[in-house]
Structure 1
């Protein structure tokens, strides 16, 4: 085994192992990675790892693929609603808007249903259900392989599917904003759609509640320099980290 040289490599290796096993023996993992058990305990305690240490075992932490959609929908729901209201102010009348998957953007779908957008494009089942019969805008649902964890569909070539639709404003979900620059999510399969929206939309915004600032999920998908900015319950930050805490 090639031994990882730092935290990021150790974290990635352990998260991969946890995809096929619910728990790992701490002593065995430390030996395989060529580090002390205490090093892995410190990694887990840092709050940046995708795993946790429980007794003599390593288990999945909150940043791994164990993503509970319903639990995340309940979490910080008021902050997500307010963030969505701020995001709605960025949409001009007559625009074509893309809504990513996630647990914040369904709140934006509800807000846009009452607006004057021309078209709403989404691959999120939750947003599509909220929009059905509740908006005069054209709703374009993007089909593809269904991913039940995020209640979303993913086509083989999102760029090809989205390009003819003429997206003006794209809103992206993010599970973490690390060190004010790095946007991340929980699953590899989310990345292609997010990157396609960033490439095609005139403006693209990450919408998240401020508890995600300083967090890092398993998969990096963009840096803040690549998008228009970030929207939280505290307002809109254009290519800069918005205020993380209320005054």
Structure 2
């Protein structure tokens, strides 16, 4: 930050880092013992300097070189994401085939899936491939394409063409925002890959922790009814729960305690 940045802006930035790189506005205001309006003003200034990104109801840190922001998001809501991962792993049978994307929740899904047997995983994520490819019990198919340093994902036409070769049992898509209008992403390349996965897989599962509820990620993944299931860690707000019922998307709440994978 510049030398003229205020003490409150510095405090806001430091608290965001302490909270894992992302936070709801109300949570940040409570942690700093200031009003939400003060937080919004400070976040606006941080966003103007390229240090943070404002989203509906919250904020997350940007990267200085890509990597810190991804690691911050990976560590944010870690317990919830790990529970979601184990809940998804309980749904996926041994011997299944599946897509996994580069989202941070998908990485916790990959971690939990390591206990399964004879899976075929198709992914554009180096992180997912590394976590599952070390076990000879699984076959990992890694998409090529332009590698993005910020998240270790392969993107572009080559990656999408590769994914279109497969019709797996499941697609597991880590979504950035969920509203009563549907599921969205902030990143166009991630959204493009997600649409391919949804079109090719037999069953699609959205994964997202509760901080994604009522977050307006502006790039739509298409018809929300493409998803059979949303796995999350807390009950959805009423407008989203009603919308999910209308879409035909089942809401699955991860158990509150982690269990050893079978």
TM over 0.5: yes
Gaps of 5+ in 1: 1-43
- 1:125 alignment counterpart: 126
What is the CA deviation profile of residues 179-204 of structure 1, one whole-angstrom value per residue up to 9, with x for unaligned ones?
A: 2x421112111122111111110001
Q: Which runs of 4+ in 1 moved over 4 A?
A: 57-60, 234-238, 240-244
Q: Residue 175 of structure 1 contacts residue 185 of structure 1 at CA under 8 Å; is this kept in 2?
A: yes
Q: Residue 96 of structure 2 contacts residue 119 of structure 2 at CA under 8 Å; is this kept in 1?
A: yes
1:189–1:115 CA distance, 2 compared to 1 (3 A)? same
Q: Residue 86 of structure 1 contacts residue 233 of structure 1 at CA under 8 Å; is this kept in 2?
A: no
TM-score by length of 2: 0.65
Q: Residue 84 of structure 2 contacts residue 232 of structure 2 at CA under 8 Å; is this kept in 1?
A: yes
Superposition RMSD on alpha carbons, in Å? Answer: 3.2
- 1:61 alignment counterpart: 53
**Once the 2 structures are TM-superposed, how far is the Cα of residue 172 of structure 1 from its aligned partner?**
0.2
- 1:190 alignment counterpart: 190
Please state whether the residue corresponding to 1:121 is helix, strand or coil: strand
What is the CA deviation profile of residues 28-69 of structure 1, one whole-angstrom value per residue up to 9, with x for unaligned ones?
A: xxxxxxxxxxxxxxxx97x9x9x95339x6865333893610
- 1:27 alignment counterpart: none
- 2:199 alignment counterpart: 199
Partners of 1:192 and 1:174 lie apart in 2 by: 12
Q: Residue 158 of structure 1 contacts residue 192 of structure 1 at CA under 8 Å; is this kept in 2?
A: no
**Once the 2 structures are TM-superposed, how far is the Cα of residue 216 of structure 1 from its aligned partner?**
1.6
**Once the 2 structures are TM-superposed, how far is the Cα of residue 228 of structure 1 from its aligned partner?**
1.0
Q: Residue 171 of structure 1 contacts residue 204 of structure 1 at CA under 8 Å; is this kept in 2?
A: yes
Please state whether the residue corresponding to 2:157 is helix, strand or coil: coil
1:202–1:235 CA distance, 2 compared to 1 (3 A)? farther
**1:136 equivalent in alignment to 2:137:** yes
TM-score by length of 1: 0.69
How many pairs does the alignment contain?
A: 197
**1:115 equivalent in alignment to 2:116:** yes
Gaps of 5+ in 2: 1-35, 64-68, 237-243, 257-262
Q: Residue 105 of structure 2 contacts residue 174 of structure 2 at CA under 8 Å; is this kept in 1?
A: yes
**Once the 2 structures are TM-superposed, how far is the Cα of residue 220 of structure 1 from its aligned partner?**
2.1
Which structure has greater helix proportion? 2
- 1:101 alignment counterpart: 102
1:62–1:131 CA distance, 2 compared to 1 (3 A)? farther
1:147–1:218 CA distance, 2 compared to 1 (3 A)? farther
Q: Residue 123 of structure 2 contacts residue 142 of structure 2 at CA under 8 Å; is this kept in 1?
A: yes
